[in-house]
Amino acid sequence: MKLNYKQTFFIGLAFMSICSFWQLYDNLVPLMLSNTFQIGETVTGIIMALDNVLALFLLPLFGSLSDKVHTKLGKRTPFIIIGTALAIVLMMLLPLAANTNNFLLFIVSLGLLLIAMGSYRTPAVALMPDVTPKPLRSQANAVINLLGTLGAIFTLIISKVLIADVPKPDYSLVFQAVSIFMVLAVIILVLKIKENTLLASNTGLNLEEDTEKTKENIHEVNPLQPAVKRSLIFLLISVFLWFMAYNAVTTAFSRYAAKVWGLQGGNFANALLVATGAATISYIPIGFLSVKLGRKKTILTGILLMSFSYFLGTAFTDYSPVIYLVFAMTGIGWAAINVNSYPMVVEMGKGTAVGKYTGLYYTFSMSAQICTPILSGFLLENVSYRTLFPYSVVFSLLSFCTMLLVKHGDSKPAKKSGTLEHFDN
């Protein structure tokens, strides 16, 4: 049994388009709020946390809805098409609102946009396991994560090229470019992926009938042993803490670079692009490292590397090209964590409860992404912008401490035969 990489590539185009949008959202929406509408850091942090608050409700809701839908296009594809179309229309209203200084239009459009994005994120992610045999899902997830990273890189490059180096740039061209990118990705997916056909061929079941055995497996729930449960709790706390550290930097960096280092226009994207690129090229060696050291040790190494990079970030009072080396360390450390943390959570689950434990993982990661823009934004506004990197150091080291208490969910997988299989996550 071998993974169909071409098919998986096309399936991953939906996730690539989603990641390109979120990179745009994290980088440009805070700048619009602070520079155009003169919103303070604390309120900006609250607004930037809204997507994660909505996600806590929207992702399980639309995931469940898509489970129950059966159309000629499949279960997930209609959500991807409609959600993307709505998101594109609403995206284009944001630069229009900023250019006309219409805050009401901006905030209403932003709220509706976040709902639109939340409506198809879970169906897009669920499409891969739907049509991929269970033994091959780790390899397929690696391909999809790569495509997601490429989507983010596209947005960073476009931001660098199209944002003018002026105090109040017009972001319209960037939004247009990302919109076109998203549309093309979804069009190719719809043309190349016939969801119902793939689902039938991979499950061997009629799309309209489920056997009793399948129904029993879907609803099977096995309690965790106390020791495993403790490890799961500490692992989820670790997830919360390292997301508190990492997302504080990614959410606030565009403003930090302007306020502290004096970078204008899209120049902030350089450091983030280095971090993302470093993460991308480090996946393969991290895969090999995980095989030799195990997931837990690889994660601990990644946490230490990220903590050290945050610590070095505190030393830069002015912009220097050396900062790119620091952000490269951040990207490698984050990749080491990302490749291994989700599989550890799922591995502690029993039987067919993968969806349940996936939900737990996202609940803790998104909760952190709700809290950290508000807390870090409060410190930026009321204490100093220079609190950003020390803030991340503290939460990163706390995650190291809790990760030490995780005793289950680790594995040292057998050596893989294919290069891409070393992305196992």
Q: Given 159, 183, 209, which residue is the final one in a domain?
A: 209
74 DSSP β-pair partners: 71
41 part of a folded domain: yes
Indicate whether 383 belongs to any domain: yes
Same domain, 234 and 174: no
> Does residue 255 share a domain with residue 182?
no
Question: 416: pLDDT confidence band, cut at 50, 70 and 90?
Answer: very low
Token readout for 399 is 């995650």
Are 291 and 345 members of one domain? yes
CA–CA separation, 81 and 76 (whole Å)? 9
Does 266 lie in the same domain as 354? Answer: yes
pLDDT at 249 over 70: yes
194 lies in the same domain as 261 = no
Predicted confidence (pLDDT) per residue in 103-146, tens digit: 999 999 999 999 999 888 878 877 877 777 765 665 666 677 78
Examine the domain organization and report whether 188 and 93 are in the same domain.
yes
Q: Which CATH number fits the domain that encloses residue 88?
A: 1.20.1250.20
Q: Chain centroid to CA 416: how far?
A: 26
Residue 96 lies in a domain: yes
Check whether 164 has a pLDDT greater than 90: no
Final residue of a structural domain among 209, 236, 260: 209
Q: Is the residue at 217 inside a domain?
A: no
Residue that is last in its domain, among 169, 184, 209: 209
Q: Are 370 and 53 in contact (CB under 8 A)?
A: yes
> What is the reported pTM?
0.69
| Cβ atoms 276, 153 nearer than 8 A | yes
Report the pLDDT value the prediction gives residue 42, as an integer from 0 to 100: 78
In a domain, 155, yes or no: yes
Cβ neighbours around 388 below 10 Å, total: 25
* Domain containing residue 292: 222-425
- On the question of pLDDT at 40 being above 90, the answer is no
- Do both 169 and 314 map to the same domain? no
Question: Of the ranges 74-88, 155-169, 298-312, 338-352, which one carries the lowest mean pLDDT score?
Answer: 338-352
Task: Report the C-alpha gap between 91 and 100 in whole angstroms.
Answer: 15
Whether residue 292 sits in one domain with residue 396: yes
Residue 214 lies in a domain: no
265, 27 contact by CB (below 8 A): no
Residues 88 and 115 in one domain: yes
Number of domains into which the chain is organized: 2
Widest distance between CA atoms in the chain: 65
Would you say residue 215 lies in a domain?
no
Which range is most confident: 51-55, 59-63, 184-188? 184-188
CA distance 403 to 135: 27
Pair 75, 160 in one domain: yes
Shared domain for 172 and 244, answered yes or no, is no
- For residue 423, pLDDT over 60 is answered with no
Any domain includes 127: yes
* Domain co-membership, 268 together with 151: no
